[in-house]
Amino acid sequence: MDKLFEVADRYIKTSDWKTISVLKFCLISLGVMLGMLVKPKDKKKVYGIAGATFLLTYIPLMTKFFKIYQNGENEV
């Protein structure tokens, strides 16, 4: 498993924003396809989990982004 994480880190370091964007579109497409498989009675539960996950990940990502934006070229 460590090897997988190490390769993933190298992949990200060698990628630019365009590659990361394509990766995100790929993952959102997978999410949409999986979401279409959810039974109607379970959709509210899945939507709630997805919403909570979005907020728990988006807030730290945007916090880091705005720190970098405010500091210009400086590392966070």
Cβ(20)–Cβ(12) below 8 Å: yes
Q: Which amino acid is at 27?
A: L
Task: Give phi and psi for 74, each to the nearest 5.
Answer: -70, 145
Task: Give phi and psi for 37, each to the nearest 5.
Answer: -85, -10
pLDDT of residue 20 exceeding 60: yes
What would the pLDDT profile of 25-58 be if each residue is shown by its tens digit? 999 999 999 999 999 999 999 999 999 999 999 9
The ranges assigned to domains in the chain are: 1-37, 38-76
pLDDT of residue 75 exceeding 70: no
Closest CA to 10 of 65, 18, 64, 2: 2
- Residue 38 has which token pair? 């959810």
